[in-house]
Structure 1
């Protein structure tokens, strides 16, 4: 028995629905039927009941009776947005969320918001309101439903650009259909109650024709009925109610690989059309019943394609029992009528197999069953061309005969006349082997040959087919039955294993492709991998096209090489149609089915990003249903991969733009402050010396010249930092490596920093006997200058700067410490990023490049740099450089001093 407990997914959906607001949609066939009027009437009734109702957005279109209904309902003032020099009004979603009424009225669900709004579409605004727990009343016309857009365009000749996804509407808690007769709507148009007279006349000549209105009314009613039907199914599943409930008719037809299924499909279609309802075509695959041969798979594919062309929903399920699976689907989908065929099997065959029809009838529980008997000429008649493909393998029969003869000789040689049971059992071996190896035909031949050999050579009287003991006849019969059953089971097991192997290969191919493309960032490599896997999996010629910058399709990949040859002008037209309409087209479909290949559009974000064409090697074959599903998975992976690459490129461009904008801001700030300040002091000092030279004493002149020197040095360090950072990032940074003495390095740097230290005390602690370091002396000076400058900027006034140099294992470690605010833990690593600056007790100048340059230089020497907050309250920035195994005893200092020049 099947588990009839409540569906946990349906229960969870109903529980989650209580945590968000409820959506009520007033749906109309066209403008002017009174959707807004009905919504406002419902709002007035809620107000009378004391419920907090607020108008978020209502468009009355100047209709007096509609405007009157807005009286007394609080309204949220709209936002005013400027776009292209004009002022527009949009719903103020932030004010609504802050006000948080019980019910919000939001008219015109399909509206597109003005650029600058939080969301692009109004239904997204409503989604945010619902998530906040606010109930929403809204209105929409049927022509704005996304899935009906093409049908509306065909009926009215007008393409509606503003649409709402079906999924959003199907999540609505309630859909109220607002409907009036076409004549009444046309009269409202003539009276100017919908549009102004000039617009009304034009609308009546184009969109608002009586036939169009009737068709739109039917679409609105059907859409509402589908929504109610889904609600009923969810309720039944959540409450473990066994269907069907006769709320509406629904038809199910059982489809298999038999040619007889085509008649069942047409019968079900006629019944569904007569009832004006939907219908489902179900194919059940079980271990005992599944298309094992190629002809059966072809026939099943044709039958399912026929059902799809006639408007059925295709469902394929896997299970152990056909009847149970069919009835389970019928109960879940609230099916009221089942169409099933009764093949004309012989009585004994039906008794052995069991009757699916009888079991469905016994357990139907109120479902009407239509049993269509097959005609005698329809008894499993396969197409002639398929039958002709089965060729007799004479070598298999010869091998079987040889095995039986060998077993007979061995049994005769060992003379087992006293134990005939072991002999008859041994003859089962060729049966089992041939069933697994070659199929049922050779297995049956092996069983018959085994019986004859056993009778002739071992059953008294030997060397004769005469049987004197009736018990041997029973043995022969049992042997044949066992042999036939075991051969049938072995053959079925082989078919199941083959089917499982095919599915495993398909799954493995899909998994391999997903892993391969996830590790590749190059679009061309991804597309080549995709086409190669498709060609290997389906045995087809594959071409893949993507649009170029101008929107024209261009070949991106083909497999095997030369596959493009089949793409003539007709095939290109089918390919282009599939891409433009974002629909599957070509061979095996109901759209341009005469094409040589099948064309799948690659969709991403609701738009086409490419198209794949596949041509099977055998022109008389079609893609099977399981192959179509696998192909859809491949195409889905392709869409994800293409979208990922595009998003990565977009993100990269965004990062470059952000970095460029940041660099622009930093440079602007540097030019406006760090360069302008010393430049102003230099200009002031120079102007004073030139214009009023006689007024200054020698000491004053010296002070002015020192000001000029300090400003020039400050500007020089800033420009050097910018240039060094540019060199590091461009990869043109080069080192002049030589043997360096760290004591000499400190001795050179401290005098250079005398002016920035401004009288600060500098304490040095250099371990004696340090080995030389192989590095660029000038670059190490730059590192130490930047570190000491940074320590001075971020330390307390009048506190000393400490420089420590020592050996740690096989490295030389240099530390620059100061007494100042501790570095926040989250910023210890970030201080070495470009343009990153910490807050300081005072005004700190600079671009935030000094430590980044230090990191680049140290790492270029194979070293490491880090920052640390010490327990004694000091902040240290340290770096270490590796030592060479062989260090020279002495190096002339002149080389290093010359380098400092």
Structure 2
């Protein structure tokens, strides 16, 4: 027998991928190297095969471009009527996405996957429409040309000289369930073009001499074949993983691309995407915030932001790192993320940090060690040529104020120089000027510092070097002194300016950290959902210097739960973007790729339990979309806000569960009480009545009297139970109000004792009320019910022959009343619970019938009189003692007012 140690179980990654595909439609892409190879024709042929199999196929949008053979294939396929969209006074035909989703065919034909929708449509790109169709479970057939992939956009432009405007992320192609390559040789395609089967004759002639040249078509064909081959390779790997086929499984590679303010940063990002895709590796784009980050121009910052957004769009990660030592920071992060390859631009001198000599690229290669460093050349022509350290230029009044400060500082240093000229060497005077230069550079930046350096040099030369009052220098030693002074002044001004930018960077970092800390503190302190939402919108609006709101689901869909400044409603486009962000858990709205014409940008508030709402932000008028740093901060705030909202929801859920548990406990107790305390007296009454009706003439007088007494006793018991339920209902609804009057406590207690005469036949009830007991302001009927319930309990639980005692005295502050017995007593842990509804002490085998309402009614009545009641052990720890405290009677005028 052969031994096979292979584990046939699928890998966790394969199981996860299968779970993610559950309920989702399948995407099949007909991929071609160029227009005219027959992608749409092949898609329609495949559709007809499925129609013949009985599959429901609908053409959502098919572009025939007037080709007769293609139009002929549309016959026999249901065609969805297009949606007319108005734009700039003209009507355009677009796919009706809502109608297609409502129709819900098994397969939808959506031509030209990279198509850009007319402004005003739900999504910017058609591939996003397809993504929504797939989410609803509809299979999609679509077409795509290889030049529309975002990652090779620059390569296509370099080869063909034509910049393709309509592109889509490579992730759309990589996540397709099936790709069918439609291949045609360049010669055959050019022949089709010349025959007018691709474009009209005039367009065809121009196309042959530009885009459709044999060289261009060959290069595009090679790229299409290569992508198809890579796709097949990934499918093979996926199959091996899904079926647990053993093989060499190398550690996964990761590519890191370094982005700075270069205008060719997009080229680096696309190269990193292609490099990572060939290796099946993950990749991340990083930018380094040095001490000069705040000195970059707005155009340079925009280039960095655009490159980082492109990295996210192409399926990569992005990260912003802080540090002046760029090489060490990059390599440290690469080690932390287990990257294997680092992609950088071509060598530049002292561009990222202020060291002279080696460029960042050269230093990176020198220190790379185990990393593979790939240097990408071919920068754009409009790249800035200067390699000087650049600081944010100052303009306007601030710049002239810096120059004026440099002049004033030079004059002040000159005055101090005259004071010390007579006593100290000339070198000490130069230190005074250097101090002035440093102060000006720190306060007003590099330009003002350089100006102060020049003026200090001139003043020092004119006033303090021989011959004085002239710029001429005769002494060689003075020439060296002045030259060294000028060099030192420039160095000091540059260092002081760098210190200034570092301080600004540190303050900005501290501001972001403080922002997150303050936000966490606010939402942690908020107890209710309204407090949390108000803290969220107020803090977010303050952070972005704009507006913020939170929408949460209600009975009619998403509704505004909070806004700052207060917002009651949003327009239909913004509402649609909010619904899409809520449904799909992704960004939507202004500045995004989904419903970008909306006035708000919406971020989903997601937790482990699912979405809890969406957060909307509206930037200032000059900012269409948050920068990557702002967006990451907003996403962090959204995550914290979602957790805070979930926390309040969990608190509410816990309280609801507690109330439900308590309700269920009361329900079970009530049902148990009803089943016993109603059924027992009813059975006794029915039995006695049946006996009387059947054997009335045969019964003796004594037997007949016993049966009548049983009926009467059980009827009274049943009446007491019903009365207790009614009293408890009145107490719970607040309808039980004491009707107080002057009463004698002896009369109330005696009346209660008389009512319990039958119950107390086996007990002696002793009443001891102090002779100085005043008239009390009570509701006699309700207080009689209290004493009846207490005596009833005492007689039930006390052994036969033992006494039950009622004792009352007057104290300086109140009237104290005790009802005690010599029964089994109440355990300490139950002495407070016995006053809850339906609670009964477990006495084991000697359990006595009862509803558990008597003491609860007593507490309600006593508290309605302004008193208190509690249970304690009896004398020497024997039995139970119920102690009541009632307030002393007020004046008569107060009593009338109380009534």
TM-score tier by shorter-chain length is: 0.5 to 0.7
Change (3 A) 1:330 1:391: same
- Structure 2 equivalent of residue 782 of structure 1: 785
Q: 1:488 aligns with which of 494, 497, 502?
A: 497
Q: 1:367 aligns with which of 365, 368, 371?
A: 371
In 1, the alpha carbon distance for the partners of 2:568 and 2:488 equals 55
Change (3 A) 1:415 1:726: same
- Structure 1 equivalent of residue 737 of structure 2: 734
In 1, the alpha carbon distance for the partners of 2:465 and 2:634 equals 59
Change (3 A) 1:806 1:319: farther
Per the alignment, in what secondary structure is the counterpart of residue 844 of structure 1? coil
Q: Give the superposition deviation at 1:530.
A: 2.9
Q: Give the superposition deviation at 1:479.
A: 4.2
Q: 1:519 aligned to 2:527?
A: yes
Per the alignment, in what secondary structure is the counterpart of residue 727 of structure 1? helix
In 2, the alpha carbon distance for the partners of 1:381 and 1:858 equals 91
Q: 1:443 aligned to 2:449?
A: yes
Q: Does the Cα contact within 8 Å between 1:766 and 1:806 map onto a contact in 2?
A: yes
- Structure 2 equivalent of residue 852 of structure 1: 856
Per the alignment, in what secondary structure is the counterpart of residue 502 of structure 1? helix
Q: Give the superposition deviation at 1:596.
A: 5.0
- Structure 2 equivalent of residue 817 of structure 1: 820
In 2, the alpha carbon distance for the partners of 1:869 and 1:836 equals 19
- Structure 2 equivalent of residue 397 of structure 1: 402
- Structure 2 equivalent of residue 28 of structure 1: none
In 2, the alpha carbon distance for the partners of 1:223 and 1:442 equals 66
- Structure 2 equivalent of residue 55 of structure 1: none
Q: 1:256 aligned to 2:260?
A: yes
Q: 1:154 aligned to 2:27?
A: yes
In 2, the alpha carbon distance for the partners of 1:712 and 1:347 equals 101
In 2, the alpha carbon distance for the partners of 1:858 and 1:416 equals 98
Q: Does the Cα contact within 8 Å between 2:457 and 2:482 map onto a contact in 1?
A: no
Change (3 A) 1:299 1:777: farther
Change (3 A) 1:624 1:421: same
In 1, the alpha carbon distance for the partners of 2:140 and 2:410 equals 86
Q: Give the superposition deviation at 1:499.
A: 0.8
Equivalent positions of 1:586-601 (< 5 A) are 586-591=589-594, 596-601=599-604
In 2, the alpha carbon distance for the partners of 1:227 and 1:404 equals 78
Q: Give the superposition deviation at 1:305.
A: 1.0
In 1, the alpha carbon distance for the partners of 2:353 and 2:627 equals 29
- Structure 1 equivalent of residue 838 of structure 2: 835
Q: Give the superposition deviation at 1:578.
A: 2.8
- Structure 2 equivalent of residue 171 of structure 1: none
Q: 1:584 aligned to 2:599?
A: no
In 1, the alpha carbon distance for the partners of 2:22 and 2:695 equals 84
Change (3 A) 1:637 1:806: farther
Query: Highest Rg: 1 or 2?
Result: 2
**TM-score scaled to structure 1, two decimals?**
0.65
Q: 1:503 aligns with which of 498, 507, 512?
A: 512
Query: Which has the higher mean CA deviation after the structures are superposed, 462-471 or 296-305?
Result: 462-471
In 2, the alpha carbon distance for the partners of 1:504 and 1:447 equals 37
In 2, the alpha carbon distance for the partners of 1:150 and 1:300 equals 39
- Structure 1 equivalent of residue 796 of structure 2: 793
Q: 1:629 aligned to 2:632?
A: yes
Change (3 A) 1:399 1:876: farther
Q: Give the superposition deviation at 1:721.
A: 1.9
Q: Give the superposition deviation at 1:519.
A: 0.8
Q: Does the Cα contact within 8 Å between 1:863 and 1:879 map onto a contact in 2?
A: no
Change (3 A) 1:776 1:227: farther
In 2, the alpha carbon distance for the partners of 1:816 and 1:704 equals 33
| Deviation sequence 1:624-659 (CA, Å, 0-9, x none) | 233222222332244334445555565565555555
Q: Does the Cα contact within 8 Å between 1:403 and 1:430 map onto a contact in 2?
A: no
Q: Does the Cα contact within 8 Å between 1:250 and 1:279 map onto a contact in 2?
A: yes
In 2, the alpha carbon distance for the partners of 1:725 and 1:380 equals 89
Aligned residues between the structures: 698
Change (3 A) 1:875 1:380: farther
Change (3 A) 1:605 1:334: closer
Q: Give the superposition deviation at 1:480.
A: 0.5
- Structure 1 equivalent of residue 606 of structure 2: 603
* Uncovered stretches (5+) of structure 1, i.e. residues with no partner: 1-40, 50-102, 106-135, 158-189, 191-201, 233-244
Q: Does the Cα contact within 8 Å between 1:255 and 1:281 map onto a contact in 2?
A: yes
Change (3 A) 1:443 1:227: farther
Q: Does the Cα contact within 8 Å between 2:347 and 2:360 map onto a contact in 1?
A: no
| Deviation sequence 1:766-802 (CA, Å, 0-9, x none) | 5564566655444443333323322333333443334
In 2, the alpha carbon distance for the partners of 1:643 and 1:650 equals 10
Q: Give the superposition deviation at 1:484.
A: 1.4
Per the alignment, in what secondary structure is the counterpart of residue 251 of structure 1? strand
Q: 1:470 aligns with which of 469, 473, 479?
A: 479
Equivalent positions of 1:416-431 (< 5 A) are 417-419=422-424, 423-427=429-433, 431=437
